[in-house]
């Protein structure tokens, strides 16, 4: 998002330690950004599509100039609820704002505007956990360190210079 010129970012997520790590990464990216950017944080109790839609309605109570131009959601369900609430209200995604989820659930690719998401290697994580529990060292013993993959879809495609 920062590379696309998004500067008013919003992180929406729960209070789980994994979500805290995602937020820390977003904060680090903003802090290391060469251009001035801000990161607002909205914490939610649960990360469901319904909660995402509620957060979207709350955001839309602001003047348009007060809306973020990029949203990072703690998971895809939350992002899909945000997406629905924003589109229903007439916000153009990605023209008005970019949206990124996390987990890359199957439905992310089937949304009315396919959702950009961060995919983590679930099978490799599970296999590593089993190896650790059984005391078996794998050929590629990463000890729980896996690189996520950004899966770019329509909710975060570059749209030109008019979005910042």
- CA dihedral 47→51→53→58, nearest 10 degrees, is -120
Q: Which pLDDT does position 122 carry in this prediction?
A: 64
Q: Can you say whether the dihedral through the CA atoms of 151, 65, 32, 20 is positive or negative?
A: negative
Q: In the chain, where are the structural domains located?
A: 2-121+148-158
Q: Does domain 2-121+148-158 have CATH number 3.40.50.2300?
A: yes
65-80 residue pLDDT tens: 999 999 999 999 999 9
Residue 146 CA, distance from chain mean position: 18
Q: Which tokens go with 162?
A: 């008019």
Q: What does DSSP say about strands 116-119 and 149-151: parallel, antiparallel, or unpaired? A: antiparallel
Average model confidence (pLDDT) across the chain: 89
């Amino acid at each position: 998002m920062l590379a696309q010129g998004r500067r008013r970012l919003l992180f929406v997520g729960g209070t789980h330690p994994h979500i805290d790590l995602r937020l820390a990464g977003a904060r680090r990216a903003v802090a290391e950004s060469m251009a001035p950017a801000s990161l607002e944080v909205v914490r939610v109790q649960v990360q469901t599509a319904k909660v995402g839609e509620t957060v979207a309605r709350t955001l839309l109570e602001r003047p348009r100039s007060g809306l973020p131009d990029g949203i990072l959601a703690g998971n895809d369900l939350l992002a899909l609820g945000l997406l629905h609430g924003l589109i229903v209200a007439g916000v153009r995604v990605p023209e008005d704002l970019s949206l990124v989820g996390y987990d890359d659930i199957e439905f992310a690719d089937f949304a009315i505007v396919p959702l950009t998401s961060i995919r983590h290697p679930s099978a490799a994580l599970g296999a590593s956990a089993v190896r650790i529990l059984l005391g078996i060292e794998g050929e590629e013993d990463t000890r729980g360190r896996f690189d996520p993959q950004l899966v770019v879809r329509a909710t975060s495609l570059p749209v030109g210079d008019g979005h910042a």
